[in-house]
Amino acid sequence: MEKFFKLKEHGTTVSTEVLAGLTTFFAMAYILFVNPSMLSQTGMPYGAVFLATILASATGTLVMALFANVPYAQAPGMGLNALFTYTVCFALDFTWQQALAMVFLCGVINVIITVTSIRKSIIKSIPESLQNAIGGGIGIFIAYIGIKNAGFLSFTADPGTYLLLDSQTVVADSSIIPALAKFNPPAILLSVISLVLMVVLVLKKVPGAIFISIIASTVIGIFMGVVDVSQVGVASNVGKSFAELGTTFGAALGREGLLSLFADPSRIPLVLVTIFTFSLSDTFDTIGTFIGTGRRSGIFSAEDQRMMETSSGFKSKMDKALFADSIATSVGAIFGTSNTTTYVESAAGIGAGGRTGLTSLVTAVMFLLSIVLAPIIGIVPSQATAPALIMVGVMMLSSFADIKWRELEEAVPAFFAGILMALCYSISYGIAAGFIFYCIVKILKKEAGDIHPILWVSTGLFILNFVLLAFL
C-alpha cells in the first residue's frame, strides 16, 4: 500500500485516505439515484441506468486511483445528464441510443485531445490570474451546491414566467428570486445542526472531522424523523437491474445508436454541434476541477506542473489524470449513461486530507458495494453531506487572495470566471466568461499579442458554442 500509493511522500496515512475516500463517496452518492431518475425519462430502464452509473463511476475512479494516483472520483456529470435528457432527447428529438452514441464519440474526442497533448496545452495557456480565479470560483460553486443541498434557499418565480418540462422539472426565467428558507422544517434544522457540528470539528482539527460529522448528522436525523430507516432492510432488486442493463450496454454502438446517427444527412450538422457541445463542457469542467482543487492542495505540485509542460507522454500526474478522465466518458456511454467526468465533490475528500489514489480506490470500492447496499447508502441525507461542501468551499476561497483586485484588468476577468461558475451552475461557463473578458481587456489595453493562441481558439469555441446553443 505504502509503496504503490507513496503515502509518506504525500504526507498522508492509510486511515486519512480511507476517511477521505468515504467522505468523497457520500458527498457524491446522490448521483446514484438522481442520474437514473433523470435519464429514465428518455425511456431508458431505471435499473439499467442505476447499474451503468455505478459501473461507469467505479471504472473511471479506479483508473484515476491506479493509473494517476490522485484523489479524484468520477461519475456521470450533473448538468451534462440534463443536457442529455432535456436538450438532446426532448428538444432535439434524438433517441437515447443516439444520445449515447454522441456521448461515446465525445469520449473518443477527449481521448484524442488528451493523447495529442491538446488538453494540457490548454491548461498551460491559462494565465495565472485566471487559474486563481478558477480555484476560488470552484470554491464558491461547491459552497453554493452545499447551501442549496442543505435547503437553506427558497426560490420564488412570478406567475407565467416558468415552463414545466415534466412532473419533476421546472424552468424559470430571470424573474426568479432567491431567499433564505424558513428555519422551521426538521430537514433544514438538521442542516443547521450538521453545519455547526462540522465547523466545530474542523476548527478543533479533529481527525476525520468531515466524515464524523456526516455519520453523526445521519444518526441525529434518524431521531429527528428526517432519515427514513425503513428501507434499510429492503433488498435491492439486483437481478432485475442486471437484466435491464442488457438493454443499454453497447446500445451506443448498435443499430439504433452509432449506426443510425449519421443516416439522415439533414441531421448531421445538428449531430456535430451536439457532440461539440458535450465535448467542450466535459473538457473544461475537468480542467477547471483539476486547476481549482489541485494547485492549492499541492496534489499537482509545481514540479508536477513543470513536468507536464516539458515532457511527452504520461510522465506527470496531471497527464495521467487527464487521460483517466478522458476514457471514462466513452466507457460510461458503453455501459449506458451520459458523460462521466471528474467530480468537483472530490474536493470534499481532498478537504478531509485525501492526497493519493488510495482515496479514489476507497471511493470506487464504495461505488461497487452500492450495487447491493443502495438502500443503506441511500439513508445518508443531503443535510448531512451538504455542510462538507460548504466547508470545502470556504477552504478553496483562499485562491482569490492571489488576485490583484485593485487592478481592474485582472479583477474583471477573475470576477466573471469566479462568480458565474456558481450563478450558472457550470464550471465551463465560468471559464468561458473569464476567457472572453480576459481577451476583451487585453484588446482594450492593446496587449492582444500577449494572449496565447490556444486561449484565442478556446475563447472562439466558447463563443461559437453559445451562438449554436441559442438556435438549438
Whole-number pLDDT of residue 228: 84
Q: What is the pLDDT of residue 75?
A: 95
**Nearest 5 degrees, angle CA 126-CA 61-CA 23?**
95
Query: Residue 167 has what pLDDT?
Result: 59
pLDDT of residue 157: 84
Instruction: Divide the 472 residues of the chain into consecutive groups of 10 and give the mean pLDDT of each group.
Output: 89 95 94 91 94 96 95 91 89 94 95 86 88 89 90 87 70 86 94 95 89 93 89 67 94 95 90 90 88 78 74 79 91 96 91 94 96 86 91 88 92 94 88 95 94 93 87 70
8-state DSSP, 157: -
* CA–CA separation, 380 and 459 (whole Å): 41
Q: How far apart are CA 249 and CA 209, in angstroms?
A: 40
Residues 6 or more apart whose Cβ sits within 8 Å of residue 230:
none
Q: What pLDDT was estimated at residue 165?
A: 67
Cell 443531503, residue located: 382
The ranges assigned to domains in the chain are: 2-471
Note the pTM of the prediction, 2 decimals. 0.85
3-state secondary structure of 155: strand
CA atoms within 13 A on the CB side of 13: 5
Q: What are 163's strand-pairing partners?
A: 171
> Which residues is 153 bridged to in the sheet?
180
Q: Residue 225's pLDDT is what? A: 92
d(CA 472, CA 469): 5
Q: Which residue type does 24 have?
A: T
- Rounded Cα distance, 3 and 407, in Å: 47
Contacts 24+ apart (CB under 8 A), 412-417: 412/437, 412/441, 413/129, 413/130, 413/133, 413/437, 413/438, 413/441, 414/129, 414/130, 414/132, 414/133, 414/136, 415/133, 417/130, 417/133, 417/134, 417/137
Short-list 76, 29, 28, 36, CA closest to 281 = 76
Question: What span, in angstroms and rounded, lies between the C-alpha atoms of 411 and 129?
Answer: 9
- Closest C-alpha among 314, 333, 244 to residue 68: 314
Number of neighbouring beta carbons within 10 Å of residue 182: 8
> Count of alpha carbons within 13 Å of 311, Cβ hemisphere only?
14
CB 138 within 8 A of CB 427: yes
pLDDT reported for residue 82: 86
